[in-house]
Structure 1
């Protein structure tokens, strides 16, 4: 039998476990009083956290409205370019081939430039959505830290990365309620990328 070293036996494990449990007891009692799970590990769904929060809903409305404006602009441009292409096609029989080729090449170049510009607008809109999510998570961090303290948890994991857990560890709904109470829809925030 190998010699035992101090602090590695079952009694030490039990005492260490009790010490850890004692450290969480105060937080767990508070968590129970405010309806949070009593666990050292919480889970959260970040996509739901953003999408179902007042902040996320506002950003989604703004981006949807701007996307609709961009889509209408794209339809208008498409109609204008189609009319211009028809006019060019109608003029072709009465033009010299070289003259037509010059106009056709200029038209193609114009179409490509417009496509680049419109794609850039769509990418900028997507980046604004991503920036709004980053801003949201920064604003939500203190709220999430408070939720962790109140439940006695030491960590919040992304729910989708957890293989198996009890639904009781998911604090997404509680987090949304607290974040909405703390920051609302974020419309008054300085540096708001959603505005």
Structure 2
């Protein structure tokens, strides 16, 4: 019986919260709350500065993919040539050439994997730098709202739409942070490592 009362009370509180939030949403008023919510991923992917960083990362990723395709084609041709020459080469010479080719493939694979990892790390580093740069703008927005805490929106079970500051934050970042301000931290991956 006690559990039933507690469950009923919790349900009533949830319904009251939902009704209050619905009423606040209908009026469209800014809700004064000590806690606001924010979607970090949207802040990065929808602000112009974040999009500029993502476009550079995507261009570098596409360049690396093209380089990998070129290297693969070169290695395939080299392997085909080696296979065709097998019949005319002494066994020891062919074995030596095949081992050298295998070592080359392993070396190139390691180099290309390192470039892919560096690109992935750069995304994380660039995203961290982006948030360092926008933090003062977010703090300003939070102060204007009279809030004292910001929660990731995805971590909140239930909230009024009006306490979400993501759209306002994106507009503020777009207005005050140039797209070149959040610079990438590393140069694009170097070309090279091809089949020589």
Report whether the alignment pairs 1:193 with 2:185: yes
CA distance in 2, matches of 1:127, 1:138: 17
Secondary structure class of the residue paired with 1:39: coil
Displacement of 1:37 = 3.3
Matched, 1:176 2:183: no
Distance in 2, Cα, partners of 1:65 & 1:96: 46
- Alpha-carbon RMSD: 1.6
User: What's the counterpart of residue 85 of structure 2?
Assistant: 91
Q: Equivalents in 2 of 1:143, 1:43: separation in Å?
A: 15
DSSP 3-state at the match of 1:60: helix
Q: CA deviation at 1:194?
A: 6.5
Q: What does residue range 148-187 of structure 1 map to in structure 2 within 5 Å?
A: 148-185=142-179, 187=180
What are the superposed Cα offsets for residues 86-130 of structure 1, whole Å, 9 maximum, x if unpaired? 000001112222221111111010001011111111111112211
- Helix, strand or coil for the counterpart of 1:42? strand
Report the TM-score when normalising by structure 2.
Answer: 0.76
Larger of the two Rg values belongs to structure: 1
Query: 1:22-33 to 2 correspondence within 5 Å?
Result: none
TM-score when normalising by structure 1: 0.77
Counterpart CA distance in 1 for 2:137 and 2:130 is 11
Spell out the pairing of 1:14-53 with structure 2 (5 A cutoff).
36-53=30-47
For residues 181 and 147 of structure 2, what CA distance do their matches in structure 1 show? 31
Report the equivalent of 2:194.
Answer: none
Question: Which structure 2 residues correspond to residues 64-143 of structure 1 after superposition, within 5 A?
Answer: 64-143=58-137
More divergent stretch after superposition (58-67 vs 163-172): 163-172
Structure 1 contact 62–194 (Cα < 8 Å) conserved:
no
For the 8 Å contact 2:49–2:181, the answer to whether it is kept is no
